[in-house]
Amino acid sequence: LSAVLENKPSLSINGTIMQCVEGYLQNKSNPPPPSTYKGYTSLKKAIDPDFGKMKMSDLTLPILQKEVNRFAEEHSPKYTLNYSSFLASVARFVGLTIESPKAPQQVPYEPYIPTKKDIKRIADSFAGTEYEVAFLLTMRGLRRSELVALTVDDVIKTDSGYILRINKALVEGIN
């Protein structure tokens, strides 16, 4: 019984940090989209066990900053910012007035733009394989969710050739 009570979600500042996280996830007034909820549960799993056992009422900015710094050692600045914001939101949700900890600076994203030669080399690697059609469809703008939802009934023969009907998407966690 004590193990059950120990892990019971809490909306009280007197609960452990992990209990407050559980309470936050279960009691949001507007349930988040599945991908956001998946992100929240991923962040929850990243909480250090000792930090999670601490009483929320004992949380201070230096303690929270130390946890965010621990997390930042192994994660990207963007993911660390999400983690920091998530923990601060949980604290505020249960009534703890605390500043948000400082997250590391984000490195500006510099996308790699493949050359025509790169694209040809990639396309050639798919030629004649079971992935060739999927590759060609994605190169023409089909999203992954639309591609995996295609069925034989979506290929329509016409007098001038074939038409591919794109009218659905399959999203992991929803379908």
Token couple for 154: 């979506």
Q: How far apart are CA 59 and CA 16, in angstroms?
A: 10
Which residue has tokens 């946890």? 67
Question: Amino acid letter at 1?
Answer: L
Cα gap 114→119, rounded to integer Å: 6
175/24: higher pLDDT: 24
Q: What angle do CA 89, 79, 141 make, to 5 degrees?
A: 115
Average pLDDT, the chain: 86
pLDDT computed for residue 125 by the predictor: 96
Q: CB-based burial of residue 37 (10 Å sphere; 0-12 exposed, 13-18 middle, 19+ buried)?
A: middle
Q: Provide the 3-class DSSP secondary structure of residue 156.
A: strand
Q: Does residue 78 have a pLDDT over 80?
A: yes
pLDDT in tens, 85-132: 899 989 988 888 878 788 777 677 889 999 999 999 999 999 999 999
CA dihedral (69, 95, 29, 100) positive or negative: negative
- In what helix (H) or strand (E) does residue 155 lie, and over which residues does it extend? strand 155-158
Is 10's pLDDT higher than 70?
A: no
pLDDT tens figures, 129-149: 999 999 999 999 999 999 999
pLDDT of residue 138: 92
Q: Which of 168, 156, 114, 160 has the alpha carbon at shortest distance from 139?
A: 114
The answer to whether residue 30 scores a pLDDT higher than 80 is no
87-116: string of b/e by CB count within 10 Å (b at 16+)?
A: bbebbebbebeeebbebbeeeeeeeeeeee
Of residues 163 and 36, more confidently modeled: 163
